[in-house]
Structure 1
């Protein structure tokens, strides 16, 4: 049976990829740095390799006998620029080298739309560098780079503040009315990655999948879609960048004092206030996959999960729409 190796297994995307692979009847093997996280994730049966992207021996064990690698591992928060590059560039290079030595045939690299704008933030620069490493170092391995837009869904801690805001009468959000973003539910993304691990007809290219909403959303459209799920009419109020610069610097100071990377920091402001995070029209569609979950449906599902797991109070929103996968934004 084909083995697919997955990095970042305990991360939001990685664990959903493992579920998608199992649903497709594909055997998977995952790299895990902190095995204590496994107990709470309810993963399907698979093989676990203890180690990190800096551990050459672990990477070789991960790739041995694997036909494909789905590289979900990486840093989305770090204390320094060097920390981002250590994981998102150097770690990718080490994994590519191990893949080559172990005879891997397919390499699916999970990047980010931020890679298109390397000057926006240290994270964006490191993701851009990681993409360049794939193009330069993959050698004879068939590769595809996937740049997800904003990924959300049950179990994602990073989008809790946004989801909570959208369930209230007034949502205070960074950016402006001109900003546009694309979205994708993690289940749709995971299916796409699992499919790309076996579809060799698509290779040496960059893809930017979304939820089917051509041109993405502005924040008023996102709020309107959320309102379909909650029954709460939400008005968006945009917060000027100078108003959150101070809190961002305070968050960075706390992060450095505690040696704990923070998602919210001055470097991230460039990403939050960048006006165009919409997938490219010529990269969003590809054979063998299409999205199944529109944002209103996905939002209702996610909000319900947050409440059931105590991440949000029961009184937030009133889930006015039942789950029905299969709706696609037009």
Structure 2
């Protein structure tokens, strides 16, 4: 039996609880980013692109075992995200870089409260380790990826800052 392992980078799409804080803050004109990752690059994939890829892989008649690291946008950084939000919202975005020491304290505090409540959180000491690991660049481009500004528009639309014709 052939098995394909998909190692997706950050997956962006509307309604995702993991990226809710990112888009909620962007809708308010603020990008909160880890200061330790200020110069790191990362890949992203729109949830629609990832869905198309998974359907295509399921339809393959001659299965092949493989590892796929798909991306829609290969080398983004925090300024790229802010610029896309600025274009989408037609307003300035202020980037607030959180110092590494403060991120570490916050991550451990979140871990503590997650243990008390029994509910896992998006931010954790483990996630902070991933953020600080350096560039995360995927290797396999998807065909005709959703443009970054379109992904941004769909993810910001629930926050009501876009005109109905733009969403």
TM-score where L is the length of structure 1: 0.46
Cα offset, 1:201, TM superposition? 4.5
What's the counterpart of residue 3 of structure 2? Answer: 143
What's the counterpart of residue 90 of structure 1? Answer: none
What's the counterpart of residue 164 of structure 1? Answer: 24
Cα offset, 1:259, TM superposition? 1.9
State which of 134, 155, 158 in structure 1 corresponds to 2:15. Answer: 155
SS in 1 for 2:32: strand
* Conserved 8 A contact 2:31-2:95: yes
What's the counterpart of residue 272 of structure 1? Answer: 131
Cα offset, 1:321, TM superposition? 7.7
- Pairing 1:223–2:114 present: no
How many pairs are equivalent? 166
Alignment of 1:115-264 (within 5 A): 141-174=1-34, 175-201=36-62, 203-211=64-72, 213=73, 215-264=74-123
Structure 2, unpaired ranges of 5+: none
Cα offset, 1:164, TM superposition? 2.0
Separation of aligned partners in 2, 1:321 and 1:206: 39
Distance 1:198 1:318, change over 3 A: closer
Separation of aligned partners in 2, 1:221 and 1:144: 31
Cα offset, 1:167, TM superposition? 2.8
* Conserved 8 A contact 2:22-2:32: no
Cα offset, 1:320, TM superposition? 9.5
Q: 1:105-132 CA distances to partner (integer Å, 9 max, x unpaired)?
A: xxxxxxxxxxxxxxxxxxxxxxxxxxxx
Over alpha carbons, which structure has the higher Rg?
Answer: 1
Q: CA RMSD in A?
A: 2.1
Q: Which has the higher contact order (CA 8 A, sep 6+)?
A: 2
